[in-house]
Amino acid sequence: MKHLFNKVATRIHAGWHRLHSKKASTPKGYEVLRDGSLNKSTAFTKEERDEQGLRGLLPYRVNTQEDQEQLVLKQLRQKTTDIEKYIYLSNLQERDERLFYSTALKNIEEIMPLIYTPTVGEACKQFAHIFRDPKGLYITPDDKGKIRSILDNWPEKDVRAIVVTDGQRILGLGDLGANGMGIPIGKLSLYTVCGGVDPQKCMPVMFDIGTNNDAIRNDPLYLGYPQKRLQGKEYFDLMKEFVEAVNDKYPKALIQFEDFFATNAYKLLDTYRDKTLCFNDDIQGTAAVVLSGVYAAMRTTHEDFKDQRFVFLGAGSASIGIANLTVKALEDAGLSNEEARDRIWLIDSKGLITQDRGDLEPQELPYAKKHAPTTLPDLIKEVQPQVLIGATGSAGAFTQETVETMSAVNERPVIFALSNPTSQAECTAEQAYTWSKGKALFASGSPFDPVTHDGITSIPGQGNNAYIFPGVALGAISCDAKRVTEEMFLASAKTLANMVTEDDLKSGTLYPPLKDIRSVSANIAEAVMKVAAQQGLSGIKLPKDIPSFIAKQMYDPSYPSSAANSNKTAAKQTPKP
């Protein structure tokens, strides 16, 4: 057995690092069972067992994939904590990739919160302590001048989707350093589950340039670069080397920047958005999903979008991103840029964003008002916004007074408590419905259970970026897009809103059910491809039947139905020496 494992090399599947044979011949026997992209375990047929050297290595019974899915769910539900469930699913993805994705896709409402928010937050906090196998690519300051050669260590030759973080602003949890690798791993799992992006074309990257979190850095089990954070020119020079190395090695790869500190997030996006295929999900994906929720809410309030006024609590990357896309949407509705910006008010931890403050970041300046300092409830009374958006990372930031004031100036106040994980939400769904006496149209970043108030049950909408980024990525990858633009995110928001049914709205939710996520992603991908073509950014001529074309691009987690197909897949997936 030791000899076998010495013959294998690290390989990525579904964004998770695993072992895979580097032999040119078709894998046989235990090589198949130890490769998560090929393993079907007890679902191998008798014929496949004979052809692939598996006879005697498996129990007698041949299971269907559906049998195995039921066993997975049974074992999963026996776990008593979410972090145990996360670890179990991590191990499942490692040993049987298709079974992991088929189970997740068919049970997405149960499993998505376990592989991403809110459980991924706890997984990141404990990352070094629950570490099993290396997953993904790590870049450190010691790698300066060597990043391109490091990419050559990655066995996949056609990476198309990269999620990279530096771990400085993980969800609402702050600086977790290299422990933040759980985010790219989880995001890329959703690329495949929700968007059908081929997992073998995904690569999670930890831009591990240190951490200023003393407790994490001094943890004797911490696995990351054990220094304080690299900053300034050295930081951006290292990132430049990484981006250029990716563009050289994988010229069609999409880079998603994830969970960067706001200032760095905007500088990186502004630097590379017109130079390479990239986007920032915290800025642009969040913006699109929130804007979609507002569009859907207008069908309940029966108001015109161009008449809406917005107050934001929090002025970080998420809030500014939402504000920027909202301005574009208001311009699209007929307002001038100045009129659109006048409808947006932001409050950060130091108070209202005003012109006389000397501590504003460049991205905040367009929204600075000529106004005296004021409190959130007083601002709501004065501005009378229809939409209140929280992206603070501060639990309880929406007080009872805040929600009651929103309800006093609106028949149906639209309230978004976006901070993740659930424990960091600005208010709970129950608080929003109770304090508003059932009037609120509420959405949150992480899931909340339905709430019954005065005999009426409301289903809180989850403004989860998973509604947006997998479809955007699928569309951009499918048409070999040269860039990702704001117009693509605006089209995505409109597409998502159009998929909200009247029954959804009657139940109180502002988003389609998660069980429809693949259809959502396919429709968004089509919208993105059309915008890419209109803007001259598509690398292909659009097919006449775009939906059928997109369907063919989407990863199917079903097992190959015959030994012949399985062998063809194995031969295709075996890297050349």
Contact 311, 347 (CB under 8 A): yes
Residue 267 bears catalytic tag: no
**HSE toward the beta carbon, residue 296, CA cutoff 13 A:** 33
Beta bridge partners of 341: none
* Distance (Å, whole) CA 219 – CA 384: 48
CA pair distance 172, 122, nearest whole angstrom: 11
Containing H/E element for 390? strand 387-390
Q: How far is 60 from 185, CA to CA, in rounded Å?
A: 35
User: How far is residue 357's CA from residue 430's CA, in Å, rounded to a whole number?
Assistant: 36
Answer left, alpha or beta for residue 15, where phi above 0 means left and psi between -120 and 50 means alpha: left
Angle between helices 317-332 and 286-301 (to 10 degrees): 50
- The closest of 529, 532, 526 to 483, measured between CA atoms, is 532
- Please list the residues that pair with 197 across neighbouring strands: none
Q: Does 187 participate in catalysis according to the annotation?
A: yes
Of the residues 40, 85, 101, 116, which is catalytic? 116
Q: Which of 132, 202, 197, 204 is nearest to 167 (CA)?
A: 204
256: left (phi over 0), alpha (psi -120 to 50) or beta: beta
Which DSSP symbol is given to 282?
I
Residue 426, SS3 per DSSP: coil
- The secondary structure element, H or E, covering residue 472 is helix 469-478
Catalytic residue among 85, 125, 187, 328, which?
A: 187
Catalytic residues, by residue number, are 116, 187
